[in-house]
Amino acid sequence: MDFEKELKVERTNIPGLIVFDLPVHGDNRGWFKENWQRAKMTALGLPDFGPVQNNISFNAKKGVTRGIHAEPWDKYISIATGAVFGAWVDLRPGENFGQVYTTRLDPSKAIYVPRGVGNSFQALEDGTVYTYLVNAHWSLEQKKTYTFVNLADPDLHIQWPIPLEDSERSEADLHHPMLKDAKPMAPRRTMVTGCNGQLGRAIRSYVDAHGLEGFEFNDIDTFDFSDPAQYDRFDWSLYGTVINAGAYTAVDKAETPEGRAAAWKANAQGPALLARAAREHNITLVHVSSDYVFDGSRELHDEAETFAPLGVYGQSKAAGDIAVANAPRHYILRSSWVIGEGRNFVKTMMGLSDRVAKGELERVTVVDDQYGRLTFTRDMAEAIFHLLDGGAAYGTYDLTGSGAVKSWADIAREVFDLSNGNGGKVKPISTVEYFANAKVPVSPRPTYSALDLAKIEATGLDVPDWEESLKAYVTKELSA
C-alpha cells in the first residue's frame, strides 16, 4: 500500500463505475485515510448519492468469494483491512449489459458502484474487512428487484486469482444464472401525479405510445401529494423520478377564501413535500410552473427573471417553484396558456364558433390586450422526456409553442376560422371591459405571457410552432 498519494479517480468501461485512489497517511504507528470525503469526491465526479447506511462484511479466510449481485441502490465500497479482487458486471438494460470490470482493492482504493451493476469480490487475505455505504435501506420490496449472474460464467472471462473450485462460496452463489439467462435490473419507478389532468393524460399517452415500463399514475384520490400523512405509504427509495402534473388551476377561484387555501395547499405545500421526498431519496422531480409567477410587464420572460406574481394563483405557483428548486435533481418546466385533453380555451372557442355558425350567437368577445403563445400538453410531455432522457442540466426551462406572439383574440379568430371559417365574428375587447360586470373575484392577468425558449432549444429540443400544433389539434377535434 502506497502512502501520501493524491486523491485521484479512474473511469472504467462500465458507465458510472468509478475507482478512487485514496490518500493514505502512515508512519510507524499505522495509517490514516479519509475514506469518503463528500466535497472533494463530488468535485471529482462522485455522484452526491446520499448514503443512509454503512455495512461491513468480515471475511475470515483468504478465498472467500461473494456475488455476483446487482442491488437496487448505489454503493461506495472500500477496504478497512486486507485486500480483495473485485469483479463488476453491468446488469442494467441497454448496450452495456454484460460489460465486466475487475481490479484489486486494498485500503488505498475505493470504488463507486451505481445501481444495477453486479458486485462481487474475492478475499485475498485472511481477516479482510470490506465496508460499503448504500443510499437506500434494505426492504423486502427492494429485495424483489435484485438480479444475479454466476461467478463462474465463462462468457464473463473473469480471471479469479484463486480458482473458484478452491474458494469458499455460498450455496446460493453457486446456482445463480449465466449471463445469457440473467434478468436485467429494472429501472427505478416513475410516479406521475395529477394523472387525470390535461398534462397527466398527455404523459400517459406518451408512456403508452413508447411502451415505457415502471410508471405509476396517481391522482388526488390515490395520492394527495399535499397531505403530509400520505407520504409514509410509499417506499420512496423504489422511485427514481416523480413528474408532478397536478396543480390547482382555477385562477379566479383562487381569489376567494376557500380557493386561496386550496391553491396554496396544491401549488405550494404539495410541491414542497415532494421536494423533501426527492431530496431525501435522490429522486428527480419534474414540476410544471406558470407564466403567472411574473407580473407580465416584460414582453418576453426568461428563466432568470425575478418572481412578481399579481394574484393568489401566481403567488402559490411561485412558492411551489421555490420549494422544488431546493431538490438537487429537479426540472421546472414553465409554460403558459396550456391546451390538452379536457376543458380549455380552444375547445371553448370551437364550441362558440359552432354556435355562431348555427345562428345562436351573433359574435363573441375575446380580450385582445394579453399576449402569449399556446402550450400544447403533447409538446410538454415530449419536452419532459427530452430533459429526462437527454441528461439536460437540472434547473428551470421555459416551454411553450414557438412562433408568433399573439393575443387571445387573435388565437380565437384562428380557431373560429379553422372550425367554421367565421373568424370575423370574434370581437376584440380589453381585459378591463371584459370583466367590468363580473360578480365574482377576478385574478389579475399578466399582460405579456410569452416565454423565452432559448434555453430549452439549446438542449436540442425542436419546439413546434404553436399555430401548426393548433391546426392539428382542431383538425383532430373536428374529426372526433
Which residues on adjacent β-strands are paired with residue 9?
20
Cis check for the bond before 243: say yes or no (omega within 30 of 0): no
Pull the grid cell for residue 300.
418576453
pTM equals 0.88
338, 290, 240, 138 alpha-carbon torsion, rounded to 10°: -130
Residue pLDDT, tens place only, 275-287: 999 999 999 999 9
Pull the grid cell for residue 247.
396543480
By three-state DSSP, how is residue 479 classified?
Answer: helix
**What pLDDT score does 355 carry?**
96
**What pLDDT score does 98 carry?**
97
CB atoms inside a 10 Å sphere around CB 251: 19
CB atoms inside a 10 Å sphere around CB 347: 17
Helix ranges (H only) for 178-268 are 198-209, 257-264
**What pLDDT score does 139 carry?**
84
**What pLDDT score does 1 carry?**
58
Q: Is 331 a catalytic residue?
A: no
DSSP 308: -
DSSP 267: I
Contact 267, 316 (CB under 8 A): yes
Encoded amino acid at 164, one letter: L
Longest Cα separation, the chain: 99
> For cell 424483489, what's the residue?
144
Contact 148, 70 (CB under 8 A): yes
**What pLDDT score does 106 carry?**
95
Pull the grid cell for residue 145.
428487484
Catalytic site residue from 69, 101, 231, 394? 69
343 Cβ contact partners less than 8 Å away, ≥ 6 residues apart: none
DSSP 183: P
Give the residues of the chain that fall short of pLDDT 70.
1-4
CA-nearest of 293, 277, 271, 290 to 232 is 277
Distance CA 372, CA 389 (A): 28
Contact 285, 190 (CB under 8 A): no
Q: For strands 284-290 and 330-335, give the pairing.
A: parallel
Q: Is 313 a catalytic residue?
A: no
Angle at 267 (CA atoms; ends 392, 433), nearest 5 degrees = 105
Instruction: Give the full edge-to-edge strand order of the sheet including 109-113.
Output: 8-11, 18-21, 109-113, 75-81, 128-134, 53-59
**What pLDDT score does 3 carry?**
61
Question: What domains appear along the chain, each with residue ranges and CATH number?
Answer: 8-181 (2.60.120.10), 189-479 (3.40.50.720)
CA-nearest of 334, 328, 340, 470 to 412 is 470
In angstroms, what CA-CA distances link 429 with 128, 292, 373? 80, 21, 19
Which helix (DSSP H) or strand (DSSP E) does residue 108 occupy? none
Distance CA 282, CA 329 (A): 7
**What pLDDT score does 291 carry?**
97
Catalytic site residue from 130, 132, 239, 434? 132
Which residues on adjacent β-strands are paired with residue 69?
119, 148
The alpha carbons of the chain give a radius of gyration, in whole angstroms, of 28
DSSP 5: P
Residue pLDDT, tens place only, 24-49: 988 888 889 999 999 999 999 999 99
Encoded amino acid at 329, one letter: R
Pull the grid cell for residue 187.
429501472
**What pLDDT score does 185 carry?**
93
317, 465, 372, 346 alpha-carbon torsion, rounded to 10°: -80
Distance CA 122, CA 124 (A): 6
